Amino acid sequence: MDVLTSNSSSLLSSDFGSLSSLYNATSENAYTLLGIALAAVLLSWATKKPQGPFPPGPKGIPFFGNAFQLPHSFTWFKFTEWGQQYGPIVGLNMAGQPMVILNTGKVCADLMDRRSVIYSDRPRFIMASEILTGGMLVGFANYGPVWRRLRKAAHLGLHLRAAESYYPIEEREAAILVKDLLRDPASWDSHIRRSIASTMFNVVYNGEPLATKEDPTVAKINALMHRVVQAALPGRFLVEIIPWMRYLPDWMASWKRKGKESFVEDSKMFKGFLQSVKNEVATGDYKPSFGSHLVYPGNPHGLSKDEEAWLAGIIFGAGSDSTAGTLGWFMLLMALHPEAQAKAQEEIDRVRFCDGILSALSVSHIGSRKMIGTTATSSPRHGTIVVSNIYGINRDPEFFPDPDAFRPERYYNEDEDLTKKAEFDDTHGQGHYSYGFGRRVCVGMNLANNALFINIVSILWAVNVKCPVGPDGKKIIPDRNKFIDDGLVVRPEQFNCVIEPREHDVNVKLGEGY
């Protein structure tokens, strides 16, 4: 087994590094640690009570508050339930740590956008950010000089105009995807994952298309992202509750030692990828890529070599599974809604309706990324963690009537014949809130939108996606409410669909260059 993959599980279950290990231990040392943990929680509870009025919320238990009321997965369902019960702002006590849940776009925009100076920090993630990624994970970085450098450099290579330079890569991979779907329709999910991973790798580092989704490079990146996301889950590591454990010597804390070893291995991998780009840039024989933006002489981002390598690697890792997951939802919804598919195909020459489909993917179901479910920041004034419940916000009936209905036309003014987008307040022109708010809005949203749009249009132009028919002649309808949460991405549960070429000769029009 690859060392990076094997570390994923061992990191989460060693030397009482996780709460579950502590609960299952029977040694005297474990009970000692448990006593220390409880004392720390009590002290935290006694000293971190929010000052002044606090938003209403569910009643908790003494000392631990609401800490045990949150499920380990799909927490946004519980947040949405509480929002319906207590209002748009819900207050929680997580064992002494104040937490506020925001459940409408208006309150999120009022705080995250209009008061972004206050609400741009991140909670401290000791294991996920400080140990596993050396403080260089832009999504978890505290609001300060390092985050500003990383964000500035990311914007340099991913802003709207820069993202347009990656069209050739996205178009090439979309054409390969279509041919793969026609060649082997039963493996459509694998084709999508390979295509998006290859797209992101080439956008960041340039190179040749990846052969399969099991490419060792993709496996290593996915293992890293899984480790980081799992490490950031509440209660996963005791060090998040007892911060002084961060300073234990390595021989006393294998979770810390293995985390540092993973960081060294991942840094070596990322530097190797980026070195290839540097070599190409040095010769002058290179194509535009995110990596070339980072390493081109004279670019004023001011990153260290480690920061350059990690920023490029995280852009690749964060974009691959999330975009593939969204396309999985697209395939499901096309099979379930043939009328919307036919309408998009009829108007493919104008490609306007496809914009509506792209927006509807973010509202009509969960979306794909874990961070689409919830996003967390913190207020430095009160030390309160503030969570934007994106799932609930995208289902606010005031702005999205009948939100579970897949209606792409809702994103256009009906009297304008689908030529003018409807306005949705505070969505930064997106029509949904899935990319976040304020200074923490997703820096890669232009790249993601382009890749999704090009792939959606290509698939709709080339094929029809249908529900299969059973032996009894009835359609086998996949359940849109069954999905998989692997810690990083929420995607539809595997389902069968029929993929058929449309009447025009797709293979000829795709050309032999692919």
Q: Count Cβ neighbours within 10 Å for each residue of 448-467 and write b for 16 or more, e otherwise.
A: bbbbbbbbbbbbbbbbbbeb
- In angstroms, the CA 319 to CA 473 distance is 40
- DSSP line for 189-222: HHHHHHHHHHHHHHHHH--SPPS-TT-HHHHHHH
Return the structure tokens found at 207.
């190179």
Q: Is residue 442 annotated as involved in ligand binding?
A: yes
- In angstroms, the CA 506 to CA 327 distance is 20
Integer-rounded Cα radius of gyration of the chain? 24
CA-based nearest residue to 101, from 91, 109, 113, 93: 91
Contact status, residue 63 vs residue 95, Cβ threshold 8 Å: yes
Return the structure tokens found at 13.
């279950």
Contact status, residue 425 vs residue 396, Cβ threshold 8 Å: no
Beta bridge partners of 500: 464
- DSSP line for 447-460: HHHHHHHHHHHHHH
Q: Residue 281 is which amino acid?
A: V
Cα 35–chain centre separation:
36
- In angstroms, the CA 91 to CA 70 distance is 13
117 Cβ contact list (under 8 Å, min separation 6): none
Please report which helix (H) or strand (E) contains residue 31, including its range: helix 28-47
User: Looking at residue 237, what DSSP letter applies?
Assistant: -
CA-based nearest residue to 204, from 113, 282, 316: 316
- In angstroms, the CA 374 to CA 183 distance is 38
**Sign of torsion over alpha carbons 398, 403, 406, 408:** positive
330 Cβ contact list (under 8 Å, min separation 6): 357, 361, 452, 456, 459
**Sign of torsion over alpha carbons 353, 356, 358, 364:** negative
Binding residues: 442
Binding residues for heme: 442
